[in-house]
Amino acid sequence: MKIILTGDRPTGPLHLGHYVGSLQNRVALQHQAKQYIMIADLQALTDNVDNPQKVRDNVCQVLLDYLAVGIDSQLSTIFIQSLIPEIAELTIIYLNLVTVNRLKRNPTVKTEMAQKEIESHVTAGFLMYPVHQAADITIVKADCVPVGADQLPMIEQANELIQSFHYTYKTTIFPHIKAEIPKTGSRLPGIDGKQKMSKSLGNAIYLSDTADVVAQKVMKMYTDPNHLRVQDPGRVEDNTVFAYLDIFDPEQDQVAELKAHYQKGGLGDVLVKKRLIEVLNTVLEPIRIKRMEYAQDMQQILNIALQGTEKVKAVAQQTMSEVKNAINLLY
């Protein structure tokens, strides 16, 4: 059976991009593999170093989203990154096996640095993110990581570190990591039409959003800027509303008819957005209900992660025992 590691940074509740890109996949995979789901609170500090309370508060918010979408703590082991000190220890060992220049060339890191406009003052913690992630994966000896296409350079770098470790210390402790791309393909765009839906970009629809908030956000969605009058022909390519309908609307024959009507002219953006509002709220309503039910006992929610963490501690200690034996530091 394959071992999977996945997870999220607790910088806020999860959004539709997470739901499409990973959460649905995790619900399915928990029946097919040994799945670890990590709440990456330490990595969340890379761009929230001055607001650790935000990170702590959102640990339970992420947990609520996990449970509400159907992740079962009896099938998936949920744990908190900062409570596994062996991850930090393994990160230090890996840092000796990679150059600073190689970290700077990582395409994912370069893109995120540009998005956050921190190229000239990037911290060491942010730059070493791929190394920390490699330690996250290998501490439980995961051989599969579901990621978006933009995260493939991170998996490539993790495999480079594994190869370097094995070559340097003449051992074969860790399996090769396979990246698994979600079947949905590309990322869900933000409501502003940007390629990526992101908490940091402020363009997300959250799983916890009320029906009214979802409606407000959809009405602000980017469509075709040249579709100024109802009678004008409109473009469905790069049209965020239709991108969402393609993913979430179960009546794809009707979506095809809407597209044809929109392209011909005579269909206004408001009518298309109203359909999307109905579709999204149909998807989100059962998640909202479950989320509110679980939120009645937040301590029990946290206990789920703490219990999972205890299981991971035993795995991490065994892994580090093998690592230290390989590097001759097992005293």
- Segment 211-230, tens digit of pLDDT: 999 999 999 998 989 888 89
> What's the confidence (pLDDT) of residue 5?
92
Mean pLDDT of 283-297: 96
74/57 Cα distance (integer angstroms): 24
Query: Phi/psi of residue 77, each to 5°?
Result: -95, 110
Mean pLDDT of 151-163: 94
272/80 Cα distance (integer angstroms): 41
> What's the confidence (pLDDT) of residue 53?
95
> What's the confidence (pLDDT) of residue 69?
96
Lowest mean pLDDT among 66-75, 146-155, 244-253, 265-274: 146-155
255/30 Cα distance (integer angstroms): 32
Burial of 199 (0-12, 13-18, 19+ CB in 10 A): middle
> What's the confidence (pLDDT) of residue 186?
52
> What's the confidence (pLDDT) of residue 272?
96
Mean pLDDT of 299-323: 97
Percent of the chain with pLDDT over 90: 75
Q: Report all structural domains of the chain as residue ranges with CATH numbers, in order of start.
A: 3-188+298-326 (3.40.50.620), 211-292 (1.10.240.10)
141/331 Cα distance (integer angstroms): 23
- pTM, two decimals, is 0.90
The per-residue pLDDT of the chain, averaged, comes to 92
pLDDT band at 86 (very low <50, low <70, confident <90, very high): very high
Percent of the chain with pLDDT over 70: 98
Lowest mean pLDDT among 187-191, 258-262, 306-310: 187-191
Query: Phi/psi of residue 7, each to 5°?
Result: 165, -175
- End-to-end distance of the chain based on CA atoms, in angstroms? 33
> What's the confidence (pLDDT) of residue 108?
84
184 contacts 28 by C-beta, under 8 angstroms:
no
63 contacts 305 by C-beta, under 8 angstroms:
yes
pLDDT at 210 over 90: yes
The 10 Å Cβ neighbour count of residue 105 is 12
Q: Which of 129, 66, 140, 67 is nearest to 94 (CA)?
A: 129
Pairing relationship of beta strands 178-180 and 76-80 according to DSSP bridges: unpaired
Query: Phi/psi of residue 301, each to 5°?
Result: -60, -45
pLDDT band at 201 (very low <50, low <70, confident <90, very high): confident
Q: 2 CB contacts (<8 Å, ≥6 apart)?
A: 33, 34, 143, 144
pLDDT at 184 over 70: no
3-state secondary structure 41-74: HHHHCCCCCCCHHHHHHHHHHHHHHHHHHCCCCC
203/281 Cα distance (integer angstroms): 17
Q: What is the DSSP string of 109-121?
A: HHHHHHHHT-GGG
> What's the confidence (pLDDT) of residue 1?
61
Q: For residues 125 and 295, which has the higher predicted lDDT (pLDDT)?
A: 295
The 10 Å Cβ neighbour count of residue 68 is 23
Q: 80 CB contacts (<8 Å, ≥6 apart)?
A: 38, 39, 41, 59, 305, 306, 309
298/308 Cα distance (integer angstroms): 16
pLDDT at 185 over 60: no
Mean pLDDT of 7-29: 91
193/243 Cα distance (integer angstroms): 10
